[in-house]
Amino acid sequence: MWGKRTGYEKEGRRVRIQFEHGEGQIEIVNPWVINVFSPLHTQEHESRAVEHPNFAFEDCDFRVSERDGRIEIVTAELNVKVYDHFHVDFYDAVGTPLCLDYRGSRDPFLRRGNVDIAEGEGHEAMRTTGHHKIQILKAMEGGEKFYGLGDKTGPLNKKGYEYEMWNTDDPSPHVESHKSLYKSIPFFITLKERAAYGLFFDNPFKTFFDMGKENSDYYYFGADDGNLDYYFIYGPDMKNVVTRYTALTGRTPLPQLWTLGAHQSRWSYAPEARVMEIADKFREHDLPLDAIHLDIDYMDGYRVFTWDGERFPDPAAMIEKLKEQGIKIVTIIDPGVKKDKGYSIYDEGLDKGYYATDRDGVTYVNTVWPGDSVYPDFSNEPVRQWWAGNQKIMTDAGVAGIWNDMNEPASFTGPLPDDVRFKNDGRETDHREVHNVYGHLMSQSTYDGILNATGKRPFVITRAAYAGTQKYSTVWTGDNQSFWEHLRMSIPMTLNLGLSGFAFNGCDVGGFSHDCTPELLARWVQVGAFSPLFRNHTAIGTRDQEPWAYDEQTLNAYRKAMKLRYRMLPYLYDLMREAENTGLPPMRPLVLEYPQDESVQELDDQFLFGSMMLIAPVVEQGKRHRAVYLPEGKWYDYASGEVLEGGQAILADAPLDVCPIYVSAGSFLPAYPDQKYVGELKIKELLLDVYPGTGEYVHTQDDGESFDYRSGSYNEYRFSQSEKDGELEIKLEKGNSGYAEAYSSFRLTVHGLSVSWVELNGEAIPFLAEIRGTTFHIPAESGTVRLKR
């Protein structure tokens, strides 16, 4: 495509390279991150994911030279070699090949026979994918594993699969053959024997990814339009890849603490009396709850930003009443605006030319819930501002968060045609370029609107997303079904979303379509308890999916899992802070922490919660035991306290109300006492479970809702522990103390040690020795504790 090289020049952080048939450009983002660009569509980058100012971009030294017919660009960490035909190879600083272009041509595995006949019976014919205008083939060595790519179905490791990025609302049961779902996150991580690197193909058009399915000698990504614009992101550690990718595309900001509590939803809770009944039942059954979601039926004829006056005569008063029970309301807002003269939102948008149009400039109409509807042009800044302003209609009534749905964008009477026009912030374009970022831009505008209206950390949930949406919104995996396969697959789906920057994610607990069986619900909630976003949600017409709609055993198992979730909230909150600082997700595949352990590289029916808790849920009907692989190190069985050696598989007992959990030696796990909702108790004493070994932990406390922590209003407590001569020493160092409502004390429970003596700063203190552990209290001040056997 490009032909031979004809020249090059260095220009700031970029090296521009001329070829016979076009221009290429290498940009040094920082010593580990390199952008490869060719202006095939626009002269400059036009990214919705990589926003500026951007702290990933660092001024750094690099050298450029020309030798042996190639250009070499050397940073402190990488050596990038650029050849004719714009072939680009990446090496580490000592010359180890990391990622090399594949020089051969595409050569699909042979397919035999006439597939038409198979199609005749209704089979999906397997055909070789066509060539793309842009296609980057990378050589495969053989041992690579691929992770990321957002919400795709199938296993954790994507090797041998192909995918497309085209945001798709597909209500059929999601299975491995689905090439696209609701989100387009064109980013993946390659793990090799020596190193990990990421590739982010920042192209919003439909993109194609073949991870060695077509031929095991190469993998490729491509598109038929847009720019060639991809980032090579070096590790060598896998965690660094996630951290650097999220530095570039943005990180999930620390959410409000209540958003990490339980959310209860159904299509649709209405009228008001039903919502109040749900709230009461949660309390009656001693089930913690922080939010109820109102699906589309709260609206007046599905008109967004309105309420059905009969079902919800006084939303503000209802929300106020729920507040007394500690429950908040989240409302759904879809993009489709009902085409209805006299409906103020529709009229205003029409007046101002805020909707997408057909190619003749006539407002484009398709059908969604309200019937004929128009599509706000979120690619245009004034429209984003208008939509942001509308959020106040909801927040003024007391709504605590907004759930954005159907924003792929979805439609009922055929897909939006390619030629639907969008203003695209001044460079008009068509649907092909806006489709994959539509939900992203809607979430951005929703986030900005809530922030302006409330000043608090906005809570937005979106179904459609593009790379970078994690800055604005949490996500769920869309319309799953109440099937065991979907519970099973939700684990790799959400783990890969986490690796793709979406630290705050979850799926519909219990499954959306179909009827959830009691056992499936009991097992699903055991996984949901560790998903950053916990929401039980189901479709209209399915059997009741609230926990009390089941038998006593299921209800008890549900309550037990939710109480554990609420106990762990300070830990999850610390993990969300870590996500804001590093991009690392709370829910992690084991490979992220133990990349060199081959036994975990494909493990996706167990996962880590942070780096310290290993969760091994049961995801098959009737199972009461399961094999669990423990990586190297010492592990404590969370339920029994038994100490287990890692580096082996064990058989765990898992009765219906038990999800096997293990905690690594050296851990600290902060915990809250039993609460019905976040903030029910003013917590003056934090609980802290200690698992003896060597380790450190930082716990942070703040107001849980404002951005004041960014200007220093937080308290930091640094814990460390080490074992010496049969003694365990635990140190607490108080760091920043900017938040006034500080804890006064900690209640420590040290597990797995029989203790005869506990002292604080050299003075003996009282303690309680129980089978579960040794418990004692210390003031929330710097100090040293010693425990003697």
Task: Write out the residues near ligand GLC by the rule CB under 6 A.
Answer: 267, 295-296, 332, 405, 463, 478-479, 512, 537
Residue with smaller CB distance to ligand GLC, 27 or 405: 405
Helices (H), 354-412: 381-396
Of the candidates 408, 433, 546, 593, the residue annotated as catalytic is 408
Cis status, amide bond into 589, omega within 30 of 0: no
Residue with smaller CB distance to ligand GLC, 336 or 695: 336
- For 768-776, which contacts have Cβ atoms below 8 Å and span 24 or more sequence positions? 771/641, 772/641, 773/641, 773/689, 773/690, 773/749, 774/749, 774/750, 775/747, 775/748, 775/749, 775/750, 776/747, 776/748
Residue with smaller CB distance to ligand GLC, 91 or 267: 267
φ and ψ at residue 465, rounded to 5 degrees: -160, 160
Residue 450 CB, shortest distance to ligand GLC, in Å, is 20
**DSSP structure class, residue 96:** -
Residue 206 CB, shortest distance to ligand GLC, in Å, is 22
Residue with smaller CB distance to ligand GLC, 301 or 455: 301
Smallest Cα–Cα separation from 691: which of 740, 756, 635? 635
d(CA 456, CA 467): 24
Residue 298 CB, shortest distance to ligand GLC, in Å, is 10
d(CA 635, CA 641): 9
Strands 460-462, 465-466: pairing is unpaired
Residue with smaller CB distance to ligand GLC, 332 or 491: 332
Residue with smaller CB distance to ligand GLC, 135 or 531: 531
- For 75-79, which contacts have Cβ atoms below 8 Å and span 24 or more sequence positions? 75/28, 75/30, 75/31, 75/32, 75/34, 76/31, 77/31, 77/32, 77/234, 78/31, 78/32, 78/34, 78/232, 78/234
Residue 369 CB, shortest distance to ligand GLC, in Å, is 7
Residue 528 CB, shortest distance to ligand GLC, in Å, is 15
Of the candidates 405, 578, 605, 702, the residue annotated as catalytic is 405
Residue 630 CB, shortest distance to ligand GLC, in Å, is 37
Residue 512 CB, shortest distance to ligand GLC, in Å, is 6
Residue with smaller CB distance to ligand GLC, 333 or 730: 333
Residue 267 CB, shortest distance to ligand GLC, in Å, is 4
φ and ψ at residue 189, rounded to 5 degrees: -115, 135
Rounded (to 5) percent helix, strand, coil in the chain: 20, 30, 45
Smallest Cα–Cα separation from 765: which of 785, 751, 783? 785
d(CA 322, CA 346): 31
Residue with smaller CB distance to ligand GLC, 298 or 636: 298
d(CA 26, CA 35): 6
Of the candidates 479, 546, 578, 637, the residue annotated as catalytic is 479
Residue with smaller CB distance to ligand GLC, 404 or 715: 404
**DSSP structure class, residue 157:** S
d(CA 199, CA 235): 11
Q: Which residues contact 731 (CB under 8 A, 6 or more apart)?
A: 718, 719, 720, 721, 783, 784, 785
Cβ–Cβ < 8 Å for 178, 164: no
The 3-state secondary structure of 587-598, one letter per residue: EECHHHHCCCCH
Cβ–Cβ < 8 Å for 782, 732: yes
Distance of CA 203 to the CA centre of its chain: 20
Q: Is 479 considered catalytic here?
A: yes
Cis status, amide bond into 236, omega within 30 of 0: yes
Residue 370 CB, shortest distance to ligand GLC, in Å, is 12
Residue with smaller CB distance to ligand GLC, 256 or 407: 407
Residue 299 CB, shortest distance to ligand GLC, in Å, is 10
CB hemisphere CA count around 49 (13 angstroms): 28
Residue with smaller CB distance to ligand GLC, 478 or 595: 478
Number of C-beta neighbours around residue 329 at 10 A: 23
The sign of the torsion formed by the CA atoms of 200, 202, 204, 207 equals: negative
Residue with smaller CB distance to ligand GLC, 5 or 266: 266
Cβ–Cβ < 8 Å for 60, 31: yes
Number of C-beta neighbours around residue 144 at 10 A: 19
Cβ–Cβ < 8 Å for 36, 232: yes
Q: Is 708 considered catalytic here?
A: no
Residue 290 CB, shortest distance to ligand GLC, in Å, is 19
CA distances from 23 to 70, 268, 717 (A): 15, 54, 53
d(CA 467, CA 167): 12
Q: Is 68 considered catalytic here?
A: no
Cβ–Cβ < 8 Å for 289, 677: yes
Residue 513 CB, shortest distance to ligand GLC, in Å, is 9
Query: Which residues participate in catalysis according to the annotation?
Result: 405, 408, 479
